[in-house]
Amino acid sequence: MSLELNIVFRVFNCVVTLAIATLLLRIYRRNYRRFYLYWGVGYVFYGVNIFLRLFTPTEFDVSTLGVIAFLLMMLGFAFIVAGVGELVNQTRTLLVSTLSLLLIPSIQIILGREWVSLAFLVVLTPYLFMGLSLMVLNWKYGVDVQLQIAGWFNLFFVNLGFITKLVDPGFTDLMSTVAKVVIFMGMTQPRFSFLEDDLKQFLMGGIPVEYAISVEGNLSMVNQANISREKDRQWIKEKIISNSRKGIRTILLSIYDIITPKEIFEQNTEENLYFVRVLSGSRSSLNTFEEKIMSINDDLNQLDILFTDVINYSNEKKIPCEIILYTLSHLIHTHGWRRVYSFMTSKNPVLKSSQVQLTCFYDKKSHETESDIIKFERLADCVMSV
């Protein structure tokens, strides 16, 4: 490929990378998800690195400008990897780990040893890490990131071909540009959080009509003493209305549609309730919001994401919330008391430091071993009966 065409493709790669950075930062300003901030900043450094490489003699010769471009690329990767860390609450760990990769060629430079080839291998590491990390994210949390996985592995293999001189520089820039567009498409289609605009607007909509009291996070448990669910439904409706008067937003999680939206939504509750259906089996769209209703898989990892999103947003915006789980017993019967207990104990201290109240319905008689459910009762700040 001619030198002129190589330059054209590199300029195109640079422009597309910086354009994606601008779009990511614009998304961050709209939804305040730090994931988009980290990736936006990362793409800025990544784009500037490509721009500087337009003026380097060749990719394999050592120059001051080349070293600066290398450092900018690694800094960009560090922010992109930190973005993945933001999704799994490991931002600092992954950021430090990526930056520590810079120590490898730096030590070689200090010792006066050949470092360029090693630097190229270091550059390849984040591509592979991103692809593998997103595969784990897809497997563990059920987040749809196939496009991102394909894009990052594309970047890994095309840059591997470039470093081994099997792929032309112009073709490398062209394929890298296509891969970045694919990654961006994947980032804007599936959502890395259940807390999207509809739910945010719902949470922001609580206006107290009674004297607003300070709300402290806690865990309450409600024992279903009656076989009929009618009293449960009535209790929940009254709770929704009572919360709305105090400016507390109510989110109802119905396990396996034991309670359906039709049974809860009525004139007094429709505007003051967000309904989450927790259903078994895979879903083509796990986080689609319609008419204050969303569906997620029966997966404790996805429940963890939802709880974390709501708690973080409540803390950030000072919005009191109540999450009603109907029912805890069904989760225990499906996933086993140990897994559910581990989930509850991990969330309990976070709830205590927030303005989110968690109310769990349960049927004590449905548990063969009474000691299992007693463990959960001991966790609760309050145990009551309908």
pTM of the model: 0.57
Closest to 138 (Cα-Cα) out of 302, 334, 307, 256: 302
Q: How many residues does the chain have?
A: 386
Q: Cis peptide leading into 327, omega within 30 of 0?
A: yes
Percent of the chain with pLDDT over 70: 77
Closest to 13 (Cα-Cα) out of 117, 158, 164, 145: 158
Mean residue pLDDT across the chain:
80
What's the CA gap between 120 and 124, in Å, rounded?
Answer: 6
Closest to 143 (Cα-Cα) out of 151, 133, 152, 153: 133
What's the CA gap between 261 and 248, in Å, rounded?
Answer: 20
Q: Are 105 and 115 in contact (CB under 8 A)?
A: yes
**Least-confidence region, from 85-94, 213-222, 349-358:** 85-94
pLDDT higher than 60, residue 259: yes
The beta strands (E) that lie in the chain are given as 218-223, 249-255, 273-279, 293-297, 321-326, 356-362, 382-385
**CATH top-level class for 197-385?**
alpha beta
Instruction: Give the start-to-end residue ranges of the domains of the chain.
Output: 3-188, 197-385
pLDDT higher than 90, residue 262: no
Sign of the C-alpha dihedral computed for residues 79, 84, 86 and 91 taken in this order: negative
Q: Are 351 and 358 in contact (CB under 8 A)?
A: yes
DSSP state of 214: P
- Tally Cβ neighbours within 10 Å of residue 113: 10
Whose tokens are 């299992």? That residue is 372
- Tally Cβ neighbours within 10 Å of residue 271: 12
Indicate the SS3 state at residue 240.
helix
Confidence of residue 285 (pLDDT cuts 50, 70, 90): very low
Tens of pLDDT along 301-348?
778 878 888 888 888 888 899 999 999 999 999 999 999 999 999 889
